[in-house]
Structure 1
Amino acid sequence: YAFDYDPSAKAITNRRTIVSGFERGLPDGSCLDSEDALWNCRVVGGAAVARFSETGEQLGLVDLPVSWPTSCTFGGGDLTTLYVTSARFTMTPDHLAAHPREGSLVAVETAIRGLPEPKFGY
């Protein structure tokens, strides 16, 4: 979903669907790039980060060596490295033996510049 945010009221309003019909995994953590696209981790076996336009059109898909990617952010000197965290809970010992990268941090070089994460404090 997308929302409007009013920082003075610290309130979100106007909930709306931005992506529908994408069936690979479930949505989890996201980040934005300099082209106003949303990068969304696809958890629960999605094994990918999907890139969507502001209107919800799929622009790209990055396959990952982990089945439960959980969150992502851009980093590196020019903000073109996509860092993706992953989970390994509930996975069987046999699955973990066959997929040793589960639970690791994955770095993917992209041709697209990300945005720095905003600093947030209470």
Structure 2
Amino acid sequence: MLHIWKGRLPPSVPPRADRKFILLSDALHSSSCKLFYPNDPLKIVKARGQYMYDENGRQYLDCINNVAHVGHCHPDVVEAAHEQNQLLNTNSRYLHDNVTDYAERLSEKLPEKLCTFYFLNSG
């Protein structure tokens, strides 16, 4: 059963999207990583299905992130990631059958000129 989180954050997660936090974030993150809505940035703390939630528990329909096909925190995806992380959680700079097998399966579905793969953790 998919649980949708609603309401305010638990007391253990204090809100931090104040000006001081934004300045700290700006100082510590690369200038090439830009915030959405820089004049009034959202501090997203949780997501489920097609929704994201800010630090005050406000719900937003996620039309930006790469989750349109299954949603945030889909139980099947969470379980598959959990199982994989119990076995191995590393980058693709080491040889592993799964990486090559996945690339091979992808190459069978794409034109030849699109069959060199570079796997990353984000779009």
TM-score (ref. length: structure 2): 0.24
> Which protein shows a greater Rg?
2
TM-score (ref. length: structure 1): 0.24
Question: Is the helix fraction higher in 1 or 2?
Answer: 2
